[in-house]
Structure 1
Amino acid sequence: MIRLAAGLLAAAVTLALPAVLDDSALAVYILLGLAAIVTVGVSLLMGYAGQVSLGQGAFYAIGAYTAALLALGGVPPVAGLIAAPVVAALSALVIGTPLLRLRGHHLAFATLAMQLILLSLAGQLEFTGGDIGLQAIPQFSIGSFQAESAAAYAYLTWGGLALVLLVTHNVSTSRPGRALRALATSETAAASSGIPVGRYKLVVFALSAAFAGLAGGIYCFYAGYVAPGSFPVLISIQYIVMAVVGGLGTLWGAVVGATAITLLVQGLDSLATLPWMPSYAPSVLSYAVYALVLIVVVLFLPQGLLPTLTDRLSRKRPRERRAR
């Protein structure tokens, strides 16, 4: 009952915020939602399949470039948005087949190298616009409806997040979801139980890439342009931090982590742009905050914010009942 009430309250607040926020706050709200979409996939990949990927930014970029190229080629934007997660997932299947033979930090470095290679190619190829990128991307539209306001993109973003959460919930509560949990605990034990380890790892890798591709597709229509500089390496690290801070393997932990880190980074960006701050302050503060937040969470909140809070509340209720 409490979970249902909390969910309804969160949905009401989500729907009400675009109507009351100004354009600058809406921009943060949209970027927060996009980050949450990608982070849900990262949490699924790391928390259930036990795979560490530093290349989710690459699939975010693949989704953005796919939707942008199709829209600029005259394809309806809604078709481009649908194609974005599909192409990202197919790319993950191709890339993941050799890469997922690796484990641990070897896989992390390989996925990081994948993103660096992709960004380098995007900066050199003519059809991607090179370093300048693709500009004048048409606004998102469905039939006669055209998303002309930031509020419309906010609803589109959070609608995408709702879809991603629904898919993740269905996956995590299904039989394959239970198999993924066993896979994260021990690949050897999972294989001995008859679980097709390689196939499951590849599928969840592709699913997390599809989530990132969906977010990238929405981003390209909202921003109106895409370029290699839109997808720095730091963005993949940011998604990892969000997933760890919120709580790996939890449905709402990714949303909590994305919210906390996005708001924290926005506050630090405001601080870094003050007149008395040095020119290198934005980049230094960004890297410093990720390092400090990770250290604090690993030392004091190893399960993440949401699982720790839920655990403390569940312990508090029996004490209150006994006190009565």
Structure 2
Amino acid sequence: MTRWALLAAGVATLALPPILPERYLATFVLLLLAATVTVGVSLLMGYAGQVSLGQASFYAIGAYAAGLLSVHGVPSLIALAVAPVVAAVAAVLLGAPLLRLRGHHLAFATLAVQLILLSVLAQADWAGGAIGLQGIPRLTVLGVELRDVGYAYAAWVVLAVALLISRNVIESRAGRGLRAAATSETAAAASGVAIGRYRLAVFTLSAAMAGLAGGVYAFYLGYLSPGSFPVLLSIEFVVMAVVGGLGTIAGPVVGAAVITVLVQVLNTLGTQPGMPDYAPSVLSYAVYALVLIVCVLYLPRGLVPALDRLRATRITVAERADPARTGP
């Protein structure tokens, strides 16, 4: 997918919030926030070669940081700005020891971090405990208190910033070094690539993106609880990144759109009369597993690279059928 196509799609979405029904507007906001987190996951997995199953923990850290600060009188815009900083600091403290691990060891370690965080939040009275943090004020920008449509545009801006940063990182020297490290650590190290430093930087950047999205999430809902950030949410972010295409600009957005719509359909199906209470959760896990299996078998690089290959193939076939296009 070209840069211009992504830009055109982004501009087109600006017209959606005012015309969307309220029930779909909430889905739209959550989709944009999930895409923002997935941008960081795609960077981490697609370029740094590291698998994180605990990205929702940084989403939660950013949300609780913004929520707690605003509840205690800090202006909401400042609280939102602090949210990614707190998530980034947590990532530095956790990433320094965790990134020494590789493969499934790192994945399990990040999963353990989220489980520990959820346990701490559930027991912490200062965070609202299991009941949750209530009374979070609405986000105020330039004296204007945001409503539903305003949050849609705020989430859009957050996603645009994440995509811009991601593109700059990919095209930078650090991005080339990360691609080299993901291919062969030995060769990259021999070429002078500071693998450990680069990976920690990307881990921190991905956490900051999740923290920023979490801040908007806190103000949008006005309420937070440990149950808002289940382990399934981290798995969902990974599935979005894999489905859309790891290491691509448009992949996280496409993957988030596909999975979010799919989750909404499954929730609707699972809440139909006669369905058991556990149906939505079971359906979600089953479909995530099925989607991952299908992608690994038939679309190992994700939807966006597959669509790019299909487009390139069609152009090649057209040029062969009409040699005049390519000139003498």
Structure 1 and Structure 2 fold alike (TM over 0.5): yes
Q: What amino acid is the match of 2:140?
A: S
Instruction: Show the 5 A alignment for 1:65-80.
Output: 65-80=64-79
Partner of residue 178, structure 1: 176
**Helix, strand or coil for the counterpart of 2:127?**
coil
Partner of residue 129, structure 1: 128
Partner of residue 255, structure 1: 253
Partner of residue 87, structure 2: 88
Contact 2:6 2:250 (C-alpha < 8 Å) held by counterparts: no
Q: Within 1, Cα distance between the matches of 2:131 and 2:274?
A: 32
Partner of residue 50, structure 2: 51
Partner of residue 115, structure 1: 114
Partner of residue 156, structure 1: 154
**Helix, strand or coil for the counterpart of 2:320?**
helix
CA drift at 1:192: 1.1
Q: Within 1, Cα distance between the matches of 2:104 and 2:316?
A: 41
Q: Within 1, Cα distance between the matches of 2:99 and 2:3?
A: 38
The answer to whether residue 37 in structure 2 is matched with residue 38 in structure 1 is yes
Q: Within 2, Cα distance between the matches of 1:193 and 1:8?
A: 35
Alignment length (residue pairs): 322
CA drift at 1:150: 1.0
Identity %: 61
**1:20-40 CA distance string (max 9 Å, x none):** 101100000001001000000
Instruction: Show the 5 A alignment for 1:200-211.
Output: 200-211=198-209
Instruction: Show the 5 A alignment for 1:224-303.
Output: 224-303=222-301
Q: What amino acid is the match of 2:223?
A: Y
Partner of residue 105, structure 1: 104
Q: What amino acid is the match of 1:253?
A: G
Q: What amino acid is the match of 2:71?
A: L
Q: Within 2, Cα distance between the matches of 1:142 and 1:159?
A: 13
Q: Within 1, Cα distance between the matches of 2:152 and 2:141?
A: 16
Q: Within 2, Cα distance between the matches of 1:305 and 1:141?
A: 37
The answer to whether residue 34 in structure 2 is matched with residue 13 in structure 1 is no
CA drift at 1:315: 1.2
**Helix, strand or coil for the counterpart of 1:274?**
coil
**Helix, strand or coil for the counterpart of 1:127?**
helix
Q: What amino acid is the match of 1:89?
A: A
What value does the CA root-mean-square deviation take over the aligned residues?
A: 1.1
CA drift at 1:127: 0.8
Q: What amino acid is the match of 1:207?
A: L
CA drift at 1:5: 5.0
**1:222-268 CA distance string (max 9 Å, x none):** 00011101100100000000000000000100100000000011011
Q: What amino acid is the match of 2:260?
A: T
CA drift at 1:136: 1.0
Q: Within 2, Cα distance between the matches of 1:294 and 1:174?
A: 30
TM-score by length of 1: 0.97
**Helix, strand or coil for the counterpart of 2:256?**
helix
Partner of residue 22, structure 1: 21
CA drift at 1:8: 4.4
Q: What amino acid is the match of 1:179?
A: G
Q: Within 2, Cα distance between the matches of 1:318 and 1:300?
A: 22
Q: What amino acid is the match of 1:173?
A: E
CA drift at 1:9: 2.9
- In structure 1, runs of 5+ residues without a counterpart are none
Q: Within 1, Cα distance between the matches of 2:6 and 2:264?
A: 26
CA drift at 1:287: 0.4
CA drift at 1:280: 2.0
Partner of residue 198, structure 1: 196
TM-score by length of 2: 0.96
